[in-house]
Chains A and B, each alone.
Chain A
Amino acid sequence: MAKKVLVLGEVRDGALRNVSFEAIAAAKKIADGGEVVGALIGDQVAQLAGNLIEYGADRVVVVQHPHLKSYTSDGYSQAVLAINDQVKPDAIVLGHTSLGKDLSPKIASRLQSGLISDVTEIECTGDDALFIRPIYSGKAFEKVKIKDGVVFVTIRPNNIAPIEQDSNRAGEVVELSVDIQNLRTIIKEVVRKASTGVDLSEAKVIVAGGRGVKSEDGFEPLKELANLLGGAVGASRGACDAEYCDYSLQIGQTGKVVTPDLYIAAGISGAIQHLAGMSNSKVIVAINKDPEANIFKVADYGIVGDLFEVIPLLIEEFKALKINS
């Protein structure tokens, strides 16, 4: 049965995040021939509405307000609930991002609905949409569904392919006026720490270092390689505990769970907690001096060697590849 699905387009640094296009693709699947409505929330964001339509939204509802310049759960929930009241969707899709994780439980609480978080795959059989999501940080998976009420899900970045952009697609864009008030949180400042500007959860390539990196400076070649490949730098708990890097880079059962196209593990032994956080990556490369290291058990390709020799060589080779292609 055709459903009407609402998708929140998430804006970061003046552009829509890739996960929002993935969310539209997810919404299309759930909609089963029904309408996909994009929602855009922010201060000055209306100009991005066309982009949501190019990626498959049938129409877009925009809420703009000076109080929506920065994300707050109070401000954004008022906007989403107002859009929800107007659109009356059968399903809602958000990205499972920092914003999506913070906002979605509040909306679900208000709507008294179930919420399926961190979905990696959608199966539609007849009337039911079934959602697959990792549990135990990817050591297992569950297939779940919403029993009744609105079908509300957040999708994990990098798992559901977006629909190809089509600049000929057209759709209606309407602005909805909402009075955003009573914000209980004031955002004073955002301090940028993510070194390459590519978010770990959305990165297509991750270069991660472990204890073998040996020092804070030891991360430099990893950063260079990540930059070259347009990726992000990650770390094992060992490297974080040893204070070689910030905990925000930690990948594993505590830390982030990531599924990039390419995961390069350098000087990481591969503790079970770390494997839980990255073993569902599409291609894994392990570089480690110890041929017995656990990480080789999940790696597609392994090089036994010193990362400080291998990474610079890799940088050279990737540079050569870039020039030649």
Chain B
Amino acid sequence: MNIFVLVKRTFDTEEKIVIQNGKIQEDGAEFIINPYDEYAIEEAIQVRDAKGGKVVVVTIGGEDAEKQLRTALAMGADEAVLINTEDDLDELDQGAAAYILAEYLKDKDADLILAGNVAIDGGTGQVGPRVADLLGINYVTTITKLEIDGTNVKIVRDIEGDSEIIETSLPLLVTAQQGLNEPRYPSLPGIMKAKKKPLAELELDDLDIDEDDVELKIETVEIFLPPQKSAGRILEGELSAQVKELVNLLHSEAKVV
């Protein structure tokens, strides 16, 4: 089975966001594989181990993203592809990213494509479904269970806390929700092996994409931090009196109940 995983390099969830000259400061920040993409990688590895085939992880980014691709290889992916847009494009939006990924994937005969259901930085969740649509294949988002039997696929999908049980078929793109699996940590032998696994670097030229074909539809006007929330009131006294006061405050002062 030809399995592809779309991954994104993101800020570590521990990082605070600092804005300088209107841009988010990246210097010194730790980067990780987008946590939802880790579920996608894990699931891809499990499907490959059960059904055979190979897992290719794909990302768009700069040289720095190699580190995250190596991590995915160390987890057990077979090959990695870095679509390096650093020289060609200053910015990307979701439509543009999906277009580039779809151009890469269109002749790869993918049976299954996995991605995270959302990236924790941009947080749009658009790229996966857009790629599926451009490739003309079906997609199912926020999945928590995947069972493949031949070309038949049974999926459990999280819809706002409820579960939807779905039947569909390959080829298919799915986006991973938390709870799908428990992503493995790369093992030491895995890390050693990963160093020798193929990691291809492509530029837009290699995909026959002209810079002008990548049309951005969204313009960022400003990036800003939310107002600092100041610590509020710690209530004092007998616990039952505190609770009485709290309910009173919520009702009369904050007016939320």
Interface residues of B (CB under 8 A from A): 11, 13-14, 16-17, 19, 24, 35-36, 93-95, 98, 120-130, 132-134, 138-142, 144, 158-169, 177-179, 216-226, 229, 231-235, 239-240, 242-244, 246-247, 249-251, 254, 256-257
Contacts and interface: CB of A to CB of B under 8 A. Distances in A.
A144 B141 contact: no
A83 to B, nearest CB: 18
Contacts of B140: 185
Given A144-B220, A262-B250, A188 B165 contact: yes
Given A115-B94, A321-B257, A302 B161 contact: no
B129 A109 contact: yes
24 contacts: A97-B160, A105-B126, A105-B129, A106-B139, A117-B124, A117-B125, A133-B123, A135-B223, A136-B11, A137-B120, A185-B140, A193-B162, A201-B160, A204-B256, A246-B161, A247-B178, A285-B246, A298-B229, A300-B254, A301-B235, A301-B250, A302-B234, A302-B235, A303-B243
Given A117-B124, A118-B124, A283-B254, A141 B226 contact: yes
Contacts of B35: 254
A115 B126 contact: yes
A115 to B, nearest CB: 6
Given A105-B130, A114-B94, A199-B160, 9 more contacts: A98-B158, A114-B95, A191-B165, A247-B144, A249-B161, A257-B123, A262-B257, A272-B14, A284-B229
B198 to A, nearest CB: 30
Interface centre among A135, A201, A261 (most CB of B within 10 A): A135
Interface in A78-118: 97-99, 101-102, 104-106, 108-110, 112-118
A178 interface: no
Contacts of B231: 296-299
**Majority secondary structure of chain A interface residues (helix, strand, loop or mixed):** mixed
Contacts of B98: 105, 109
A300 B256 CA distance: 12
A192 B67 CA distance: 41
B256 A142 contact: no
Contacts, number: 260
A301 B257 contact: no
Interface stretch (A21-29, A146-154, A167-175): A146-154
A145 B134 CA distance: 23
A201 B35 CA distance: 21
Contacts of B166: 185-188
B162 A191 contact: yes
A42 B226 CA distance: 39
Contact of A106 (B129, B144, B226, B250): B129
A165 interface: no
B189 to A, nearest CB: 27
Interface residues of A, number: 96
Nearest to A114: B217
Given A135-B121, A145-B219, A299-B231, A314 B133 contact: no
B179 A247 contact: yes
A162 interface: no
Nearest to A247: B179
A200 interface: yes
A36 B95 CA distance: 26
A158 interface: no
Given A105-B130, A193-B161, A188 B223 contact: no
Contacts of B240: 313
A163 interface: no
A316 B221 CA distance: 49
A313 B160 contact: no
Interface centre among B126, B127, B139 (most CB of A within 10 A): B126
Contact of A142 (B127, B141, B222): B222
Contacts of A185: 138, 140, 166-168
A73 interface: yes
B250 to A, nearest CB: 7
Given A109-B98, A229-B257, A134 B232 contact: no
A102 B233 contact: no
Nearest to B239: A305
Contacts of B168: 184-186
A2 B244 CA distance: 51
Contacts of A44: none
